[in-house]
């Protein structure tokens, strides 16, 4: 044990001002590639920042900046993982590609996923066993896609099917919470994005990570099949609960959520209540993490 895991949040965690206060070269790199991206990250309109093509590259900036601050302060990860988009940041920190290439990957992923069917969406289903969620989804042509923690699964599908399914989930004793996203992520509705991402990655230099990185696909460690896993992740479920348990079994006893928000910290407390989860999204929180590890 006594190993530290960095985990990076996904889309939905973004907010204007994230990453501000960190002195990182990632902002200059990103500004050179997409002028105006730092202003969008620091002072952008929330509605504009929420757009997939903007949210993903901006999250990358905030997460990389926080990770660099932690590492420079002496808090270094033994292993890495990321929720949905956050896996791109984890792979970058793990050495699969450079920070500049990682930003380009984030841009392309966000661009491709933003081209999804506008009549699709997602919802979080709470307080029900996975099997019940899966059975109701099958009845309505929906897809269980994010296995977040015990009693919480996110689902994807057509907007009308989501609306029609709500009474069934409620009748089964669950809670139905629509998610403010612009597509049916991690479902077959992302097949075109997955194919496009695979084509893009075929021309990129992507290495086997130097640090262990755990995959959303099956909760197991990345090997040499990095490109295949990255593209398949877009249209397959996120096995987050299994991923966290696998990292803990590999020795992680301190999980640091690196980047905006504390959603993964809260999920972690439900998955492994006896393990410490903390978060670092500001310079002040980075300082607190340093104290935690001393």
Q: Is the dihedral of CA 142, 246, 215, 256 positive or negative?
A: positive
According to DSSP, the β-strands at 79-82 and 3-8 are parallel
Nearest alpha-carbon partner for 286 in 29, 68, 33:
68
Q: Based on C-alpha coordinates, what's the Rg of the chain?
A: 18
Distances (CA, A) of 213 to 221, 230, 248, 281, 292: 6, 12, 13, 20, 23
* Strand-strand pairing, 276-280 and 152-158: unpaired
Q: Are strands 143-149 and 152-158 parallel, antiparallel or unpaired?
A: antiparallel
Cα separation, 77 vs 82, in Å, equals 13
How many C-alpha atoms does 227 have within 13 Å on its Cβ side? 13
Give yes or no for a contact between 60 and 103, defined as CB atoms under 8 angstroms apart: yes
CB 257 within 8 A of CB 16: no
- Residue 244: how many other CB atoms lie within 10 Å: 28
Residue 131 phi/psi, 5-degree rounding, is -65, -40
So which residues are the catalytic ones? 84, 186
């Amino acid at each position: 044990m006594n190993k530290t895991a960095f985990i990076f949040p996904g889309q939905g965690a973004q907010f204007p001002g994230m990453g501000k206060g960190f002195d990182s070269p990632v902002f200059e790199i990103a500004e050179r590639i997409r002028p105006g991206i730092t202003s969008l990250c620091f002072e952008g309109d929330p509605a504009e920042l929420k757009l997939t093509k903007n949210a993903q590259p901006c999250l990358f900036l905030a997460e990389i900046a926080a990770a660099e601050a932690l590492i420079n302060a002496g808090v270094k990860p033994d292993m890495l993982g990321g929720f949905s988009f956050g896996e791109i940041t984890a792979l970058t920190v793990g050495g699969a590609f450079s920070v500049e290439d990682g930003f380009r990957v984030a841009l392309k992923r966000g661009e491709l996923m933003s081209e999804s069917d506008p009549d699709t969406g997602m919802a979080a289903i709470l307080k029900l066993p996975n099997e019940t969620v899966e059975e109701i989804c099958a009845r309505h042509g929906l897809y269980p896609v994010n296995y977040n923690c015990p009693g919480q699964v996110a689902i994807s599908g057509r907007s009308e099917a989501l609306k029609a399914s709500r009474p069934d989930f409620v009748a089964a004793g669950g809670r139905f919470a629509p998610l403010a996203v612009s597509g049916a992520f991690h479902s077959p509705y992302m097949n075109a994005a997955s194919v496009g991402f695979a084509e893009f990655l075929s021309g990129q230099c992507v290495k086997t990570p130097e640090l262990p990185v755990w995959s959303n696909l099956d909760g197991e460690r990345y090997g040499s099949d990095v490109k295949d896993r990255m593209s398949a992740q877009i249209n397959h479920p996120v096995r987050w609960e299994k991923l966290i348990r696998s990292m803990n079994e590999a020795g992680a006893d301190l999980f640091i959520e690196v980047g905006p928000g504390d959603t993964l910290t809260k999920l972690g407390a439900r998955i492994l209540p006896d393990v410490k989860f903390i978060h670092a999204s500001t310079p002040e929180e980075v300082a607190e993490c340093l104290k935690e590890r001393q």
